[in-house]
Amino acid sequence: MLFARFLFIVSLSLFVLLLAACGQRPPIETTILSPVGETATPVIDLQVDAAQTEQTLTPAAPSETAEPTALATSTPFVTPTVQPTLSISATQAISASETISPAGSTESITPTAEASACFGSINGSVVADLNGNGQAESGEPGLRDAKLFLYNASGVVALYTTGNGQFYFPGLVAGKYTLTAAPPAGYTPTGQPTYELQVKCGETITQNILMMVSGAVTPTVTPTAQSRSKITPVVSEQGTPRASKSGTGESNFKPFTVAAVYDIAGCGSINAPGLYRLATSLTSQWDCIQIYSDNVIFDCQGYALNGTDLNGYGVVVHQIGNVLSQRAPRNIEIRNCKSQKHKYGIFIDAADNLYIHDNTLTNQFRDTDERNFGQFLGLSEGGGMRVGSTTNALVADNRTDGSAIGIDVRNSSGVTVRGNSANGNTAWGVHFYNVQYSEISNNTTTDNLRYCAWGNGTVGPGCDAGGIMLQSGSSKNVIKDNTITGSNGNGIFIKAHGTPCGDGNVISGNTISGSLYNAIELSFCRDNKLEGNRISNSLDGIWLGFATNNALVGNQLQDLGNHGIISWNSSDNNVSTNTVINSREGLYFYSSDYDREQFFFVQGAPEDHTSRGNCLCDNRLLSNAVAAIHLNNSLKNQITQNHLTNNGVNFVMEGNTAGNIIQDNIIEGGSYNITVPRVQNASFAVRPNALTAFDQNGRALSYAQFVQTVLMDNENDSFDLRWFKYKLRISLGLNVQE
């Protein structure tokens, strides 16, 4: 009995997986146009009766022909007449030197019993049979303006007008089709004009059609024919990155080549290698361009892929294979596209060796309302682009503004995000989620901010939004030379609230100005290095929370509303050779008890997380209004060789400060104090608007009302919101008993 139940459960699970796979959308028909500037009619879904068909097939004189042009209007999204339940097409790898067909070797998934779930395609060439021998031979050109009509049992399925003789009908449900050719003016068919074709799962049928000049006599001698069974590449194109606007830094992306070039003028599936060039702007309600192949370069050439209602993706790269055996496509390049009003402008389900560059992906899905009000962040969705499950990628010189996330990279490694702009997003400019051995460099992120409820109807800015966010185990990455300005909630934030830590990252050479809260924050993580960053006009410069064995060296911090460097319950950190000028306090190291239930993921007891063993060494602390160095329940730190000049108080020591070594410091002005001076309370003189909060009616709160909001916890507050309040209390000194 137990064994029978086990077999039933396994069978049921497999059935559910197949049903899930059947939910995927079938490929849409794709139009392949002439690559030499000639126009051609898009593949268009049609439904006509027999009389209409006969009339359509009658060739018109050239002066009477009204040819629709692909460049005139975008191809609409049309639901196919036949609705299959599943569409997975997988193109096998083809070497760059091979001549290829538009749909390579494919795999298909066995469908459910109710409907067929596989697709094939038809391609070929309309050839000028110059000698009338019924053979396609070398030197005989393809014919422009031949009309092709494709039928199934329901009527006309698609219309195609050739631009250079070649034609391609992809994404056809397996079954019987009739292909009929209407010759251009001055030509008649050589042999039969109509062909009965059986489309099979995962196969491409090649059918060449021959035309001869009207009135030509068929010769009796038949020369040897040359096969035209495959589409001949027009030119060769290399997917080599152009010189980056942001510099010539290296990345893990490796250039690749493709052997064929096609122009495309309709939404649809790309199932074979090649360079695909967009010939017109397109609008789609759901996904527009779907890539299911290795070795694909997709170039929008400046045209747009726009959505209508913030659903789907402009370009999506799918995994290859069936639901039980999938892999990432290899060698993908996406360039020169514009997109708006999708959920993501570009969505990469998975890839290996990826290059996304010179795209403008703005005004995609935002997870806030018209007031820029949303929930306190956990994990947001929607944005300029999502790169998932990818290895070895370069994302360069893209513009990703006005969405939830600018550039969203998840579960990947070896990804370089360089030279992009990500501005005015409601969550983050650049977001790494479980990303390792990657780089964020030379990007510009400005005004990435949202408003949310802090409690009791109080609405304030921040909410963990910011310029650059690393979370869920994003480790061993380099974040360097970025410019993060304007009203970002935070500048750079390594977050690990109950998720794996972001350890071993290097944050260097960044310019961060104007962040509402922390220019750089590390929480619950270790072994990160912050070096040579230029920080100004934020509430706090660098925040450490439960952080261990990090190095903060050579940073320039100036004009901070509260602290240059603030540390809570952190130990064994090296804080040296930094310069802190004109802040309220230069260095503030502090420890206190915390709610064990909320901090369930913090191992050990509170006494295991006392502020201790930090090296505050060789720093330059100048003109900090209240204090240069402030220790509050912080033990056994080394405070040596610092240069303290014109600070309000040089050292403030309160609580348990046993075992600290204070020696060899150069002191110019100021004094030593063992009690907390009354003026330590928060001052907003540097950034008067940094902490403006509002009630639900939009009325600005007074300072007293703001303090009440920060001090009051609500049992319905998320951990992120409680953590935010913790940080504000500590930063503003609100935890101190009056």
Look over the chain and give the mean of its residue pLDDT values, rounded to a whole number.
76
- In the predicted structure, residue 663 carries a pLDDT above the cut 60: yes
pLDDT(363) > 90: yes
Whole-number percent of the chain with pLDDT over 70: 73
The answer to whether 427 and 404 have CB atoms below 8 angstroms apart is yes
What is the model's pLDDT at position 276? 93
Give the model's pLDDT for residue 248.
55
> What's the average model confidence in pLDDT over 316-334?
90
- Please state which of the ranges 85-94, 154-163, 206-215, 309-318 shows the lowest mean pLDDT: 85-94
pLDDT class of 464 with cuts at 50, 70, 90: confident
Question: Domain 25-216+228-237 maps to which CATH number in 3.40.50.920, 2.40.30.30, 3.30.390.30, 2.60.40.10?
Answer: 2.60.40.10
Q: Any residues with CB less than 8 A from the CB of 606 and at least 6 apart, and which?
A: 569, 593, 594, 596
| pLDDT for residue 156 | 66
Half-sphere exposure of 341 (CA within 13 A, CB side): 12
pLDDT value at residue 550? 96
Residue 666 pLDDT = 93
Average pLDDT over residues 280-304: 94
**Residue 216: its pLDDT value, please?**
52
The answer to whether 335 touches 297, Cβ cutoff 8 Å, is yes
Q: What is the pLDDT of residue 74?
A: 32
Query: Is the pLDDT at 386 greater than 50, yes or no?
Result: yes
Domain residue ranges of the chain, discontinuous segments joined by +? 25-216+228-237
* pLDDT-based confidence at residue 674 (cuts at 50, 70, 90): low
Tell me the pTM. 0.68
Q: Does residue 36 carry a pLDDT above 60?
A: no
What does residue 234 show for φ and ψ, rounded to 5 degrees?
-80, -50
Distance, CA of 163 to CA of 265 (rounded, Å): 12
The predicted pLDDT at position 158 comes to 67
How far is the C-alpha of 337 from the C-alpha of 307, rounded, in Å?
13
Diameter over CA atoms, the chain: 113
* Phi (first) and psi of residue 150, to 5 degrees: -115, 125
Task: Give the range with max mean pLDDT: 60-69, 303-312, 432-441.
Answer: 432-441
Query: What does 237-251 look like in DSSP terms, one character per residue?
Result: EE-PPPPBTTB----
- The arithmetic mean of pLDDT across residues 674-680, rounded, is 49
pLDDT, residue 675, reads 57
Residue 253 has pLDDT above 80, yes or no: yes
Q: Give 63 or 728, the one with higher predicted confidence.
A: 728
pLDDT of residue 613: 95
pLDDT of residue 10: 46
Q: Token pair for residue 527? A: 């072994």
